Amino acid sequence: MSDNKFPWFAIRVKSRHEKTVAQLFLQKGLDSFLPLYKANQRWADRVKQLDLPLFPNYVFCRMDPHIRLPVLTTPGVLDILGGRSGEASIDEDEIVAIQKATAAKLNCEPFAWIVAGERVKIDHGPLKGLTGIVINVKGTDRLVLSVALLQRSIVVEIDRTSAAPMHATPLLNRSEIASVRSGL
């Protein structure tokens, strides 16, 4: 295995090549990590439980950023996240957290990246169909609903799993988030 002094990188791979690339990295002596989760796949005649990548199209690899060729020449690899000159390593603590969660056999599954200030639409639950802005107050996710004509808003606590990002709308900047919070 590779020396732990090297950082982790996200390696973008061809669709459905994650397991093969991770295995090839191991054969090359590279430290790789492919977090998987269990999902039920339904076909017309049966249901089967599959191990799928938590981060589709990505494999994590600990590598020397100055020696990229062993990674880039691996069949199925497209590139190293960050581009030719600006590879961005991944924080060790983030990888450790994902490794601990998957090793603990907890129910893990992919989830959309939602940040405070982002406009979201509620997909399920009693607020289904509503759109608003997500904020986080004292560690609790809340949805801000506004009446523009009155220039007033309300905030309601939400379960983050019920919200889906609406990527077509821009994020609020810090001052706009601060003004939303001050109105609470």
Q: Are residues 81 and 21 in the same domain?
A: yes
Do 21 and 88 belong to one domain? yes
Residues 28 and 92 in one domain: yes
Q: Are residues 42 and 95 in the same domain?
A: yes
Number of domains in the chain: 2
Please check whether residues 33 and 99 belong to one and the same domain.
Answer: yes
- Domain hosting 161: range is 119-182
Same domain? For 124 and 82 the reply is: no
**CATH code for the domain in which residue 40 is found:** 3.30.70.940
Are 83 and 136 within one domain? no
Residues 83 and 156 in one domain: no
Describe the strand order of the beta sheet including 152-157 as a list of residue ranges: 152-157, 140-147, 131-137, 119-122, 163-165
Statement to judge: residues 71 and 155 lie in one domain: no
Q: For 124-162, how does the pLDDT look when each residue is reduced to its tens digit (9 = 90+)?
A: 888 888 888 888 878 888 888 766 656 666 778 888 788
Please give the pLDDT value at position 158: 86
Q: Which residues of the chain have pLDDT under 70?
A: 1-3, 83-87, 111-112, 146-153, 167-184
DSSP per residue over 27-89, as a string? HTT-EEE--EEEEEEE-SS-EEEEEEESSTTEEEEE--TT--HHHHTSTTEEEETTTTT---P
Q: Are residues 60 and 125 in the same domain?
A: no
pTM for the model: 0.67
Q: Of 72, 103, 134, which marks where a domain is finished?
A: 103
- Residue 87 is predicted with a pLDDT of 66
